[in-house]
Structure 1
């Protein structure tokens, strides 16, 4: 009997050792990808939020800790096989990226590797626990250059037109020419860094995290996600309009720099306020359950 227990203990110990070895190998193999992502987050303004994405993903794991599978629920040939296949797919995607010098394929190969590791180690119950964190990691990965450039150019043009109209609406003379808004005091250029893509991506990430956290009906979460691009554009227009107002009131190089910094700081709080208001409005749209309504026996039928 004792020998059987020793055999089981040794088997479990060897499993833990094997899992730890596999995880270490994957971390070492993808270490350079992590360094590449860190460099992207540091150098590209549109990806500066990437530093916070892994932290939020870990927090989501803690938030959903009640779904952590028990020891008896972990394992199974099917989940291990599926995990290994997905990991190999991620490695193949990375090899393709290295071979064809594609940064997009190299960085996005992280997702299937993480997903396969979760399934292989935690089983299907582990996937149920960790899938929001795995999905959220996508926000730390750069968009393909063609996609980012296309959306960035359209957002830049849209932000210029709407901001120009808003400035005129508040009584400031403004004329849009290309991606430049001409004020009476000085021109206000809507540069690529001000196109709103960074705000749009960051706010969409916040909206997704909010949907994972809050216990709301599915239709409310769909509305919240669908409105995220609109709120991101509105926040960016608010920023450009605020800069234009400051430019018009206090022209000068020092004030211009302050206007850019100050308006940038106010973008995210402004967007979060809109998010809170939206959640409050959606809460008011929920009809009370029939059981909570007053009932009178003498009510006419």
Structure 2
């Protein structure tokens, strides 16, 4: 299908008719997934939503800002819809590779477990593998645009019934959006717009079961590492499971009383910091022009940074609890400690950016020096040969 060049009249290089078509498409998509959008707003808004997902509201804003930064490149890229794209050998190879990847996921799914949990993630991985294989079949039979769009709609339908899983429904919404853009705009536009679409995954709340199973080992890690830090400060603290046992002393006699237990709850496991800083690291990595390997390092560095900052928060709250009183480990003081550590965590991510920028410094190649000019009509004299001996 021949490419379509967008007109430059209108606003931001798009004609008013084009904006009207885009508005109609967005309205149709919003009506189709209105229950998802309303539920996500109720769970992620800053006023009455779940604090674990308060960062979600910024994810689409970052995506829109990314598109704004790349607006000139986006406007100069021709539209090449792949609706009814012809059958090619390359598409066969791509579809077979996708189906093989899904089959490998399915074969490896019985071995997938998380830590010491008795709950296996094999079922979740098997369902994902079946979805990947189905996507390969749709891409082969139809094309990658219509195939992805159909896979997204079917995944959404499965999330409604029989799956009855909001997370699956939301992932189907993102896949449908990806397929819609790919079908109507083509691969050249998708090379620019894929990041804002895929980045929406960071805004989707996880299923409670998965959230709890990942939070449990993080709770234990926070308890163990925090006790180690408090021991360095001379505090005779110990841990058991997800509890930290702190010594207590009588304020009048100074005698040691029974240890008091501080529970490292799910809210203290660092999941909020983990999800927030993975999102921040991803945004920082993609809002600047850098190679993909640098982006991968920056995003991966957000995980240990979030864990370290959470351990420091738990240890600091425990020390304040012992030295200043219980009120410093509960209520606003407890939340304020987490807010204070957001700044050093962000600075550490920026430090990682600075480090990867200076690991390899590309030197520009100097242009070749042109040969010395010679008088017109006379050939250029050959370079003088070195003479031996001592002058």
**TM-score bin (small chain):** 0.7 to 0.9
| Residue number in structure 2 paired with 1:211 | 285
Is 1:187 equivalent to 2:261 in the alignment? yes
Greater relative CO, 1 or 2 (CA 8 Å, sep 6+): 1
2: CA distance, partners of 1:29 / 1:138: 19
| 2:321–2:328 Cα contact (<8 Å) kept | no
| Residue number in structure 2 paired with 1:7 | none
**Superposed CA offset, 1:95-124 (max 9, x none):** 111112111211111111111222233322
Summarize the Cα distance change of 1:132–1:229 in structure 2 as closer, same or farther, 3 Å threshold. Answer: same
| Residue number in structure 1 paired with 2:152 | 90
* Structure with the largest fraction of helix: 1
Matched length: 281
Q: What is the aligned counterpart of 1:145 among 208, 215, 223? A: 208
2: CA distance, partners of 1:76 / 1:70: 18
Summarize the Cα distance change of 1:263–1:13 in structure 2 as closer, same or farther, 3 Å threshold. Answer: closer
Q: What is the aligned counterpart of 1:40 among 38, 43, 68? A: 43
| 1:69–1:125 Cα contact (<8 Å) kept | no
2: CA distance, partners of 1:64 / 1:13: 20
| Residue number in structure 1 paired with 2:195 | 132
What stretches of structure 2 of length at least 5 have no aligned partner? 1-14, 86-141, 249-259, 367-391
Once the 2 structures are TM-superposed, how far is the Cα of residue 287 of structure 1 from its aligned partner?
Answer: 4.3
1: CA distance, partners of 2:50 / 2:349: 26
What stretches of structure 1 of length at least 5 have no aligned partner? 1-11, 293-301
TM-score w.r.t. the length of structure 2 is 0.65
- Choose 142-151 or 101-110, whichever is displaced more: 142-151
Summarize the Cα distance change of 1:278–1:71 in structure 2 as closer, same or farther, 3 Å threshold. Answer: closer
Q: Which has the larger radius of gyration?
A: 2
Q: What is the aligned counterpart of 1:165 among 218, 222, 228? A: 228
| 2:77–2:188 Cα contact (<8 Å) kept | no
Per the alignment, in what secondary structure is the counterpart of residue 62 of structure 1?
helix
- Choose 169-178 or 28-37, whichever is displaced more: 169-178
| 1:94–1:107 Cα contact (<8 Å) kept | yes
2: CA distance, partners of 1:167 / 1:37: 39
Summarize the Cα distance change of 1:254–1:283 in structure 2 as closer, same or farther, 3 Å threshold. Answer: closer
